[in-house]
Structure 1
Amino acid sequence: MTTRSSCTSILIGKKASADGSVIIGRNEDSKASWPKQMVVRPARTETTTFVSKETGVTIPLPGDALSYTATPEWTDQYGLFEEDGINSAGVAMSATESAYANARVLGFDSFTDQGTNEEAMVTITLPYAHTAREGVQRLGDLIAQYGTGEANGILFADHDEAWYMEVVTGHRWAAQRIPDDSFAVVANQLSIQEVDFDSTDFMASADLRDFAAANHLWQAGQPFNLRHIFGTNDQSDRVYNYPRVWYGHRMLAPVASQGETPESSTMPFIVRAEQPLQVESAMDFLSSHYQGTPFDPAARLPHGVDGHRYRPIALAKTQESHVLQLRQDLPAEIANIHWLAMGVPAESQYVPFFAGTTTTPANYQAGALPASMDSAYWQYKLAGVLVDAHFNHFQAKLTGVQGAVHAQHVALIAKTDAQAAGKSAAELAALATTATAEAARLSDASWAKLTMDLLASSTDFSPLNFNTDPNL
């Protein structure tokens, strides 16, 4: 089985967010029925060796690994696919946003079957990064040394910066810092535009310019547009990728996005925020499916209107959605929040996991095939399937619960922040663990009630129903 995440991502700089947080987030899209788990990987002092089950690549790992949160697959048969997390140094990483490089560039530096792919990237990078830049550099060095079999985008953040890194050929990459007052949305394409090699806001393979010049992909003196040189611009982009970027701009920068269309191929990678963005802005974007447009596959549309014309952002194949929020001026144990929605975010709940937690609730560590109700993944998927059957009928109930639970989570975070003052590192870890468990409990209780309500309400929608006489 080849697993690639056909995802959607968002990055928000600290001056673009309402509270000074640096925020990155992504929908992990692969299979509609493929469980995920949420775990905490402990710190490690011994050296070890990573061996990829997907490609067989063997990579020695140093003995100074930091602890980190992660969302691995339910089985490691095909690899770990840890995908996203925040480490104890306050560095967040999400990998990957799958993309495509054009055939010409791959003719000069092809992908390799024995390299480091999405499956391995969080595992071999996040435990060793003390800043976002350091994470970019470490992964870039590993790509240059071992190669890769995929074009990918990788998100990094710390308390100061958000970075977007793109792997553009088998051994080459570039990365751009998101300006503090701006945001970016990405949808399965190479997105970075003009690279300024003299600016500290960019990083790249040491020979990227020379490689492009030697193979007549770029001429000195011309802008080095990474998207144009290495990426694609074809009909599949117009159906699959550009519409999601268009909708993100429409949601988050309605003035700047005027004139853009779902199939625009010249939309900017970086967009300046027009108003302060909340963490909920990232959640709303990742949960969206073209609401308010003729392209919403869940809407009641007029006859002849194709709601499935474009690939939506939240869709049935979303395994989990995460928003990694790095807040300012708080102890690290509670400042950093790994918001996680199991399954389809439009039909699930973002639950805050404080990155300083020492463990996760048991139902987040469970989840396998066949389905079992001891798993948070399957609990939320069940509610989503019940909603799917009568999507518009159940929307009010669904959004009511999502809003009420989120308000409880916001209050819990504020309470936890207040309790953190004056506590030692050990006490803060205990506080983060207790608060994380309470956040999951609040959501579990409300969604268990919602699921039973959906079940009871659904019984009268059977095709075997009939307008019967209640007295007979």
Structure 2
Amino acid sequence: MPCTTILVGKDATYDGSTLMARNDDSGAGKFTVKKYVLITPKQQPRHYESVTSHIQLELPDDPMSYTCCPNVEPGTGYKSEAGINSANVAMSATETITSNPRVLGADPLVPGGLGEEDFITVILPYIKSARDGVLYTGRLLEKYGTYEMSGIGYSDADEIWYLETIGGHHWMARRVPDNAYAVIPNQLGIDYFDFEDAAGEQKNCLCSADLEEFVKNNHLDLTMDPGDAFDPRAAFGSHADSDHSYNTPRAWWMERYFNPNTFVWDGPDADFRPDSDDIPWSLVPEKKITVEDIKYVLAGHYQGTPYDPYMHHGDKSMAGAFRTIGINRTAFLGVLQMKHNGTSVEWLSFAANEFNALIPFY
């Protein structure tokens, strides 16, 4: 399972823009070549059929132009991954995430549904805001279902929303706080969800209409005390042994970088370790975050810790113990920067982030 995502609210960035970034990593043992293209309304298909699931959709007749990074090789599907449309709305899809047997037994995945190959193509040309993107995606998921667990990011100049699929047809989304950042390392990550807000004001939470009933009917709420806040990570996600070597260490390292003094990250008395299941989904950073910071953490290999696989001195007994963020099968990094002056910048780098540079496209 590839990819690492970071989302940064407008009050947590150096210039007041929103920042949404994701490494798109190829699957184990292969490298997927990507390209950067602009799709015009004339080029956008009106009849869509995917390679992966063979789903067929009739698309609206009023698409906007948009950028994306699809696969180069024919026959491997679109997988357009990330882009910005002419309404200055950005989308990143997808972060492959985890689930558990209780969720998948209650709402099985749909082999002929939507997935990573499809989302950018069938959604980005038609949305006018980040919130609009969540709701548009939710309607498609409820109607057609999905064949895989996914996390999807949406941003405009004011807001960032992050959606996670739950089983075949359900979903939830949270707005990233303006003064905070969120990190997602191939694992269902949202750690707080307010059903009252989702059913009412919808200020910070959105979800499929029957999600609270779905949780109750299928005994998914694992909180001990009925008065405790609902924990979506425990209900919908995983904490497998493989998470502790592949997923959670990446969240640990990114938050250790942005909040070095907020918690104790190292040693026997650490508040959070690389294998902790309760690493926060979002935090207020100790300083404002720049594009350079994004590039640094998404090229990270646990430098400055005992887990760095490139370590050349000292005790190397734990070097390489955890899956790094920066790996040699990264296809591209897209940093989507949405500004209040009506412009946007799409920063792109291709292949391994330890050895490349970001290029801005306006």
For the aligned pair, the TM-score class normalised by the smaller chain equals: over 0.9
Matched, 1:294 2:310: no
Distance (whole Å) between structure 2 residues aligned to residue 221 and residue 91 of structure 1: 38
Q: Which position in structure 1 is the counterpart of 2:267?
A: none
Q: Which position in structure 2 is the counterpart of 1:20?
A: 16
Distance (whole Å) between structure 1 residues aligned to residue 336 and residue 307 of structure 2: 28
Residue 144 (structure 1) aligned to one of 138, 142, 145: 142
- Contact 1:47/1:63 (8 A) holds in 2: no
Distance (whole Å) between structure 2 residues aligned to residue 186 and residue 146 of structure 1: 25
Residue 354 (structure 2) aligned to one of 343, 346, 351: 346
Shift of 1:190: 0.4
Percent of residue pairs identical: 38
CA deviation string 1:371-421 (max 9, x = no partner): xxxxxxxxxxxxxxxxxxxxxxxxxxxxxxxxxxxxxxxxxxxxxxxxxxx
Structure 1 residues 214-363: aligned runs within 5 Å: 214-218=217-221, 222-258=228-264, 259-302=271-314, 304-329=316-341, 332=342, 335-354=343-362
SS in structure 2 at match of 1:203: strand
SS in structure 2 at match of 1:255: coil
CA 47–352 in structure 1, closer or farther in 2 if over 3 Å, else same? closer
Moved more, 125-134 or 291-300: 291-300
CA deviation string 1:429-449 (max 9, x = no partner): xxxxxxxxxxxxxxxxxxxxx
Distance (whole Å) between structure 1 residues aligned to residue 357 and residue 316 of structure 2: 33
Shift of 1:43: 2.4
Distance (whole Å) between structure 1 residues aligned to residue 238 and residue 45 of structure 2: 40
List runs of 5+ in structure 1 lacking aligned partners: 355-472
- Contact 1:195/1:226 (8 A) holds in 2: yes
- Contact 1:246/1:257 (8 A) holds in 2: no
Shift of 1:215: 1.1
Could you say which structure has the higher helix fraction?
A: 1
CA deviation string 1:309-339 (max 9, x = no partner): 000001011111111111222xx3xx20110
**Max Rg structure:** 1
Residue 103 (structure 1) aligned to one of 101, 104, 111: 101
List runs of 5+ in structure 2 lacking aligned partners: 198-202, 265-270
- Contact 1:46/1:62 (8 A) holds in 2: no
- Contact 1:33/1:319 (8 A) holds in 2: yes
Q: Which position in structure 1 is the counterpart of 2:111?
A: 113
* 1:54 alignment partner AA: T
Q: Which position in structure 1 is the counterpart of 2:214?
A: 211
Greater relative contact order (Cα < 8 A, sep 6+):
2
SS in structure 2 at match of 1:250: helix
Shift of 1:78: 2.4
SS in structure 2 at match of 1:15: helix
Distance (whole Å) between structure 1 residues aligned to residue 327 and residue 290 of structure 2: 23
Provide the alpha-carbon RMSD of the alignment: 1.6
Runs of 4+ in 1 over 4 A off after TM superposition: 44-47, 219-222
Distance (whole Å) between structure 2 residues aligned to residue 120 and residue 221 of structure 1: 40
SS in structure 2 at match of 1:119: coil
- Contact 2:7/2:21 (8 A) holds in 1: yes
Residue 195 (structure 1) aligned to one of 190, 193, 196: 193
- Contact 1:44/1:63 (8 A) holds in 2: no
TM-score scaled to structure 2, two decimals? 0.92
Shift of 1:160: 0.3
Distance (whole Å) between structure 1 residues aligned to residue 162 and residue 138 of structure 2: 12
CA 277–49 in structure 1, closer or farther in 2 if over 3 Å, else same? same
CA 47–84 in structure 1, closer or farther in 2 if over 3 Å, else same? closer
CA deviation string 1:181-203 (max 9, x = no partner): 00011101100012112332011
SS in structure 2 at match of 1:280: helix
SS in structure 2 at match of 1:287: coil
